[in-house]
Structure formats: C-alpha cells, structure tokens
Structure 1
Amino acid sequence: MNNVIIIGGGIAGLCAAISLQKIGIEVKVYDKNTEPTVAGTGIIIAPNAMQALEPYGISEKIKKFGN
C-alpha cells in the first residue's frame, strides 16, 4: 500500500493522514468543503483529547491558536 485516499477532513481523517505520512505513505484527503468554514463554529477539545493528539505532533499548534 503506497497511496491512500481519506474521505473526510475532520479530526479523525486528518490524524489518520498524519500517521500514514509519518510511515511514508502518500495520502490525499478529500472533504465536502473546499475551504475551511468558521462562521458560527466552535470547537472544544477536552484535556484527554489533547493528550491523545500529542503523538501526532499537533497539540502545541492547537494550543497556540486556542483561546
């Protein structure tokens, strides 16, 4: 398996893409939205979820943009 297509750019799809790229697999992610949508949107990530995101190397980036 050298190439993978992931349908859905949510947290699970993006974490899967990061994990696969780390082991050398080429990944393409497709989502129904062509651009990020933020109007009227809120995202809450619980502390245990932040710990679960640490192996993906993105928890510090999330903290940087959180408020």
Structure 2
Amino acid sequence: MTWQKSSYSNEGGDCIYVAAAPDGTVRLRESDDPEVIVSATRHGLTAFLAVTKESGVERTMKGWSPACHA
C-alpha cells in the first residue's frame, strides 16, 4: 500500500496520510502515530467529511496543527 501525504499538509509535522487499500477501502493515518490506521469505505469517508463540513467541526477542533493547513 502506498501512503500519500494530504495536499493540505506542508513540510510541518502532524499531517494526515491517505492510501487506497487492496480491498477497496480508504486508509488514513497521522504522522504522529502511524501505527493507528482508520479504515473506511469511500462512501463512508465521503459522508463523514460532508457531515463534518456542514457542522463546522473543522473550525472548532482543538489540537489541529497549523503546519498542516496551508
């Protein structure tokens, strides 16, 4: 599986990586703890991101890294 750094990441730490798994799921991990991997279907991830954007969660999250928000 090939991991790709999110296009929203820059050269700083605490960034998100994404990979397409052989079983068709999408895998996500954070650079700080790469052993923890979240797996989701493409549909599930798309739905999660849509709800997150609609609710404004991305604007109120604590602990996000400015280094990854170019």
Give TM-score scaled by structure 1 length. Answer: 0.28
| Structure with higher RCO (Cα < 8 A, 6+ apart) | 2
Q: TM-score, normalised by structure 2?
A: 0.27
Higher strand share: 2
